[in-house]
Amino acid sequence: MSTRSPGQTSSGSWFRRNRRIVMVALIVVVIAGVAGGAYGLWYILIGPASPSAVAAAPPVLPGNAVAAPASLDGTWTVNTTLGTIDDGTASFVGYRVQEQLVGVGGHTAVGRTTRLTGSMTLAGAVIDNVQVTADMTALTSDQPERDGQLKGQAIQTDTFTTAMFKTIQPINLGTLPAEGTIVKVDATGALTLHGVTRTVTIGLQATRQGGVIAVSGELPILFSDWSVQRPTSFAVLSVDDHGIMELHLLFTHS
Protein backbone atom coordinates (compact mmCIF):
# COMPACT_ATOMS: atom_id res chain seq x y z
CA MET A 1 0.00 0.00 0.00
CA SER A 2 1.28 3.49 -0.90
CA THR A 3 2.10 5.89 1.90
CA ARG A 4 2.27 9.05 -0.32
CA SER A 5 0.40 12.08 0.87
CA PRO A 6 -2.24 13.51 -1.47
CA GLY A 7 0.12 16.29 -2.73
CA GLN A 8 2.96 13.93 -3.62
CA THR A 9 3.71 12.27 -6.99
CA SER A 10 5.91 9.34 -7.84
CA SER A 11 9.41 10.00 -9.21
CA GLY A 12 8.39 8.29 -12.47
CA SER A 13 5.44 10.64 -12.92
CA TRP A 14 7.60 13.66 -12.14
CA PHE A 15 10.21 12.54 -14.67
CA ARG A 16 7.64 11.97 -17.43
CA ARG A 17 6.04 15.35 -16.87
CA ASN A 18 9.34 17.24 -16.87
CA ARG A 19 10.58 15.29 -19.86
CA ARG A 20 7.58 16.55 -21.80
CA ILE A 21 8.39 20.11 -20.74
CA VAL A 22 12.02 19.71 -21.85
CA MET A 23 10.96 18.25 -25.20
CA VAL A 24 8.52 21.10 -25.84
CA ALA A 25 11.25 23.59 -25.00
CA LEU A 26 13.66 21.86 -27.37
CA ILE A 27 11.09 21.93 -30.19
CA VAL A 28 10.57 25.66 -29.66
CA VAL A 29 14.33 26.24 -29.73
CA VAL A 30 14.72 24.18 -32.92
CA ILE A 31 11.86 26.00 -34.67
CA ALA A 32 13.28 29.35 -33.65
CA GLY A 33 16.72 28.26 -34.79
CA VAL A 34 15.46 27.11 -38.17
CA ALA A 35 13.54 30.33 -38.70
CA GLY A 36 16.45 32.43 -37.60
CA GLY A 37 18.87 30.33 -39.61
CA ALA A 38 16.78 30.68 -42.74
CA TYR A 39 16.72 34.43 -42.33
CA GLY A 40 20.42 34.45 -41.55
CA LEU A 41 21.17 32.36 -44.64
CA TRP A 42 19.06 34.67 -46.79
CA TYR A 43 20.79 37.77 -45.42
CA ILE A 44 24.31 36.33 -45.63
CA LEU A 45 23.97 35.04 -49.17
CA ILE A 46 21.62 37.63 -50.61
CA GLY A 47 21.71 40.70 -48.40
CA PRO A 48 21.15 43.93 -50.33
CA ALA A 49 20.40 43.87 -54.04
CA SER A 50 23.40 43.34 -56.30
CA PRO A 51 24.98 46.52 -57.74
CA SER A 52 23.82 47.49 -61.21
CA ALA A 53 25.92 46.46 -64.20
CA VAL A 54 28.29 49.19 -65.35
CA ALA A 55 26.89 49.25 -68.88
CA ALA A 56 23.47 50.19 -67.50
CA ALA A 57 24.46 53.83 -66.89
CA PRO A 58 26.88 56.37 -68.39
CA PRO A 59 30.31 56.14 -66.75
CA VAL A 60 30.32 59.80 -65.76
CA LEU A 61 30.09 61.62 -62.43
CA PRO A 62 32.89 63.15 -60.44
CA GLY A 63 34.69 64.74 -63.40
CA ASN A 64 33.53 68.27 -62.57
CA ALA A 65 35.75 68.14 -59.46
CA VAL A 66 38.88 68.13 -61.66
CA ALA A 67 39.77 71.00 -63.98
CA ALA A 68 40.51 70.17 -67.60
CA PRO A 69 44.22 70.31 -68.53
CA ALA A 70 45.48 72.93 -70.95
CA SER A 71 46.07 70.15 -73.48
CA LEU A 72 44.36 66.77 -73.55
CA ASP A 73 47.38 65.17 -75.20
CA GLY A 74 49.74 63.19 -73.01
CA THR A 75 49.52 60.48 -70.38
CA TRP A 76 46.35 59.79 -68.41
CA THR A 77 46.54 57.67 -65.25
CA VAL A 78 43.87 55.60 -63.48
CA ASN A 79 42.68 57.64 -60.49
CA THR A 80 41.51 55.66 -57.45
CA THR A 81 40.68 58.66 -55.24
CA LEU A 82 37.54 59.87 -57.05
CA GLY A 83 34.00 58.59 -56.62
CA THR A 84 32.77 55.87 -54.26
CA ILE A 85 32.50 52.12 -54.70
CA ASP A 86 29.04 52.06 -53.09
CA ASP A 87 27.37 53.89 -55.98
CA GLY A 88 29.70 52.54 -58.65
CA THR A 89 31.36 55.89 -59.44
CA ALA A 90 34.86 54.88 -58.29
CA SER A 91 37.46 53.16 -60.43
CA PHE A 92 37.04 49.40 -60.16
CA VAL A 93 37.36 46.07 -61.96
CA GLY A 94 35.15 43.14 -61.01
CA TYR A 95 32.97 40.18 -61.89
CA ARG A 96 29.30 39.25 -62.15
CA VAL A 97 28.32 35.57 -61.93
CA GLN A 98 24.90 33.95 -61.60
CA GLU A 99 24.54 31.36 -58.83
CA GLN A 100 21.74 29.17 -57.48
CA LEU A 101 21.60 29.12 -53.68
CA VAL A 102 20.12 26.47 -51.40
CA GLY A 103 16.63 27.51 -50.27
CA VAL A 104 16.96 30.92 -51.92
CA GLY A 105 17.17 30.56 -55.71
CA GLY A 106 18.97 32.65 -58.30
CA HIS A 107 21.32 35.42 -57.25
CA THR A 108 23.92 37.52 -59.04
CA ALA A 109 27.24 37.48 -57.21
CA VAL A 110 29.17 40.72 -57.73
CA GLY A 111 32.75 41.28 -56.60
CA ARG A 112 34.94 44.32 -57.22
CA THR A 113 38.44 45.59 -56.52
CA THR A 114 39.42 49.25 -56.40
CA ARG A 115 43.12 48.49 -55.98
CA LEU A 116 44.24 49.37 -59.51
CA THR A 117 47.11 50.88 -61.45
CA GLY A 118 47.06 51.89 -65.09
CA SER A 119 47.58 54.50 -67.75
CA MET A 120 46.99 55.40 -71.40
CA THR A 121 48.25 58.00 -73.84
CA LEU A 122 46.18 60.38 -75.91
CA ALA A 123 47.49 62.10 -79.05
CA GLY A 124 44.86 64.02 -80.97
CA ALA A 125 42.02 61.51 -81.39
CA VAL A 126 44.17 58.38 -80.94
CA ILE A 127 44.33 56.43 -77.68
CA ASP A 128 47.27 54.08 -77.26
CA ASN A 129 49.38 52.18 -74.72
CA VAL A 130 46.45 51.35 -72.48
CA GLN A 131 47.50 49.13 -69.59
CA VAL A 132 45.50 48.38 -66.44
CA THR A 133 46.45 46.01 -63.61
CA ALA A 134 43.99 44.90 -60.92
CA ASP A 135 44.92 43.51 -57.51
CA MET A 136 42.71 40.41 -57.31
CA THR A 137 43.47 39.83 -53.62
CA ALA A 138 41.40 42.94 -52.88
CA LEU A 139 38.22 41.61 -54.54
CA THR A 140 35.25 42.05 -52.22
CA SER A 141 31.55 41.24 -52.57
CA ASP A 142 28.59 41.52 -50.18
CA GLN A 143 29.70 38.28 -48.53
CA PRO A 144 33.15 37.74 -46.95
CA GLU A 145 32.63 33.96 -46.99
CA ARG A 146 32.34 34.03 -50.78
CA ASP A 147 35.49 36.14 -51.02
CA GLY A 148 37.32 33.68 -48.80
CA GLN A 149 36.31 30.77 -51.02
CA LEU A 150 37.72 32.53 -54.09
CA LYS A 151 41.18 32.65 -52.52
CA GLY A 152 41.59 28.92 -53.11
CA GLN A 153 38.81 28.16 -55.63
CA ALA A 154 37.74 29.44 -59.05
CA ILE A 155 39.97 32.48 -59.76
CA GLN A 156 42.27 31.50 -56.86
CA THR A 157 43.28 35.01 -55.84
CA ASP A 158 45.92 33.72 -53.39
CA THR A 159 47.77 32.15 -56.33
CA PHE A 160 46.90 34.47 -59.22
CA THR A 161 47.11 37.79 -57.42
CA THR A 162 46.74 40.15 -60.37
CA ALA A 163 44.87 40.48 -63.65
CA MET A 164 46.06 42.74 -66.46
CA PHE A 165 44.80 44.16 -69.74
CA LYS A 166 47.11 45.77 -72.30
CA THR A 167 46.08 47.03 -75.73
CA ILE A 168 47.88 45.63 -78.75
CA GLN A 169 46.64 48.25 -81.22
CA PRO A 170 45.66 51.93 -80.99
CA ILE A 171 42.06 53.11 -80.65
CA ASN A 172 41.30 55.73 -83.27
CA LEU A 173 38.32 57.91 -82.37
CA GLY A 174 38.36 59.73 -85.71
CA THR A 175 37.67 63.07 -84.08
CA LEU A 176 38.00 64.04 -80.45
CA PRO A 177 34.50 64.02 -78.87
CA ALA A 178 33.17 67.12 -77.17
CA GLU A 179 33.05 67.19 -73.38
CA GLY A 180 30.09 65.20 -72.02
CA THR A 181 29.62 63.18 -75.22
CA ILE A 182 29.48 59.42 -74.68
CA VAL A 183 31.32 57.44 -77.33
CA LYS A 184 31.42 53.69 -77.89
CA VAL A 185 34.69 52.07 -78.92
CA ASP A 186 36.28 48.62 -79.00
CA ALA A 187 39.61 47.97 -77.29
CA THR A 188 41.59 44.96 -78.50
CA GLY A 189 44.37 43.69 -76.28
CA ALA A 190 45.92 40.94 -74.21
CA LEU A 191 44.02 40.01 -71.07
CA THR A 192 45.83 37.99 -68.42
CA LEU A 193 43.49 36.31 -65.96
CA HIS A 194 44.09 33.27 -63.73
CA GLY A 195 47.55 32.92 -65.27
CA VAL A 196 46.14 32.64 -68.82
CA THR A 197 46.70 35.31 -71.47
CA ARG A 198 44.30 35.63 -74.40
CA THR A 199 43.55 38.29 -77.00
CA VAL A 200 40.14 39.86 -76.38
CA THR A 201 38.08 42.78 -77.63
CA ILE A 202 36.21 44.75 -74.99
CA GLY A 203 33.31 47.03 -75.88
CA LEU A 204 33.70 50.32 -74.02
CA GLN A 205 31.77 53.49 -73.32
CA ALA A 206 33.83 56.62 -72.68
CA THR A 207 33.23 60.26 -71.91
CA ARG A 208 35.16 63.25 -70.62
CA GLN A 209 33.95 65.60 -67.95
CA GLY A 210 36.37 68.34 -66.99
CA GLY A 211 39.71 66.74 -66.25
CA VAL A 212 38.38 63.18 -66.00
CA ILE A 213 38.02 60.60 -68.74
CA ALA A 214 35.58 57.92 -67.57
CA VAL A 215 35.52 54.52 -69.23
CA SER A 216 33.24 51.55 -68.57
CA GLY A 217 32.72 48.19 -70.22
CA GLU A 218 32.17 44.51 -69.81
CA LEU A 219 33.50 41.29 -71.30
CA PRO A 220 31.84 37.84 -71.24
CA ILE A 221 34.14 35.29 -69.61
CA LEU A 222 33.80 31.55 -70.25
CA PHE A 223 35.54 29.92 -67.29
CA SER A 224 37.04 27.07 -69.30
CA ASP A 225 38.85 29.57 -71.56
CA TRP A 226 40.80 30.74 -68.51
CA SER A 227 41.27 27.35 -66.78
CA VAL A 228 38.87 28.42 -64.04
CA GLN A 229 36.98 25.68 -62.19
CA ARG A 230 33.53 26.57 -60.92
CA PRO A 231 33.54 27.07 -57.12
CA THR A 232 31.69 24.70 -54.81
CA SER A 233 30.02 25.34 -51.45
CA PHE A 234 27.45 23.64 -49.22
CA ALA A 235 25.17 26.67 -49.63
CA VAL A 236 25.46 26.84 -53.44
CA LEU A 237 23.52 24.45 -55.67
CA SER A 238 25.19 25.57 -58.87
CA VAL A 239 27.24 28.33 -60.46
CA ASP A 240 27.12 29.27 -64.14
CA ASP A 241 30.11 28.22 -66.24
CA HIS A 242 30.50 31.82 -67.41
CA GLY A 243 30.35 35.33 -66.04
CA ILE A 244 31.01 38.97 -66.86
CA MET A 245 34.21 40.90 -66.27
CA GLU A 246 33.23 44.54 -65.76
CA LEU A 247 35.26 47.70 -65.38
CA HIS A 248 34.77 51.35 -64.55
CA LEU A 249 37.89 53.49 -64.79
CA LEU A 250 38.49 57.17 -64.14
CA PHE A 251 41.59 58.62 -65.80
CA THR A 252 43.15 61.98 -64.90
CA HIS A 253 45.92 63.80 -66.76
CA SER A 254 49.41 63.11 -65.39
In this structure, are 136 and 70 located in the same domain?
Answer: yes
Q: What CATH number is associated with residue 66?
A: 2.40.128.110
In this structure, are 117 and 220 located in the same domain?
Answer: yes
pLDDT at 163 over 50: yes
Q: Where are the beta strands (DSSP E) in 124-211?
A: 126-135, 162-167, 171-172, 183-193, 196-209
Of 225, 218, 230, 167, whose CA–CA distance to 196 is shortest? 225
In this structure, are 244 and 213 located in the same domain?
Answer: yes
According to DSSP, residue 208 is labeled E
In a domain, residue 4? The reply is no
What does the alpha-carbon distance between residue 108 and residue 98 come to, in Å, rounded to a whole number? 4
What does the alpha-carbon distance between residue 172 and residue 174 come to, in Å, rounded to a whole number? 6
pLDDT for position 230: 83
In this structure, are 40 and 74 located in the same domain?
Answer: no
In a domain, residue 3? The reply is no
pLDDT for position 231: 75
In this structure, are 41 and 58 located in the same domain?
Answer: no
**Residues whose CB is less than 8 angstroms from the CB of residue 182 and which lie 6 or more positions away in sequence, other chains included:** 58, 205, 206, 207
Asked whether the beta carbons of 78 and 116 are under 8 A apart, the reply is: yes
Domain span at residue 21 reads 9-45
In this structure, are 22 and 64 located in the same domain?
Answer: no
What does the alpha-carbon distance between residue 105 and residue 100 come to, in Å, rounded to a whole number? 5
The verdict on pTM exceeding 0.85 is no
Give the model confidence (pLDDT) of 94-136 as tens digits: 999 988 766 566 788 899 999 999 999 999 999 999 999 999 9
In a domain, residue 2? The reply is no
Number of domains in the chain: 2
In a domain, residue 174? The reply is yes
29 sits in which H/E element: helix 11-45
Lowest mean pLDDT of 156-160, 197-201, 229-233, name the range. Answer: 229-233
pLDDT at 220 over 50: yes
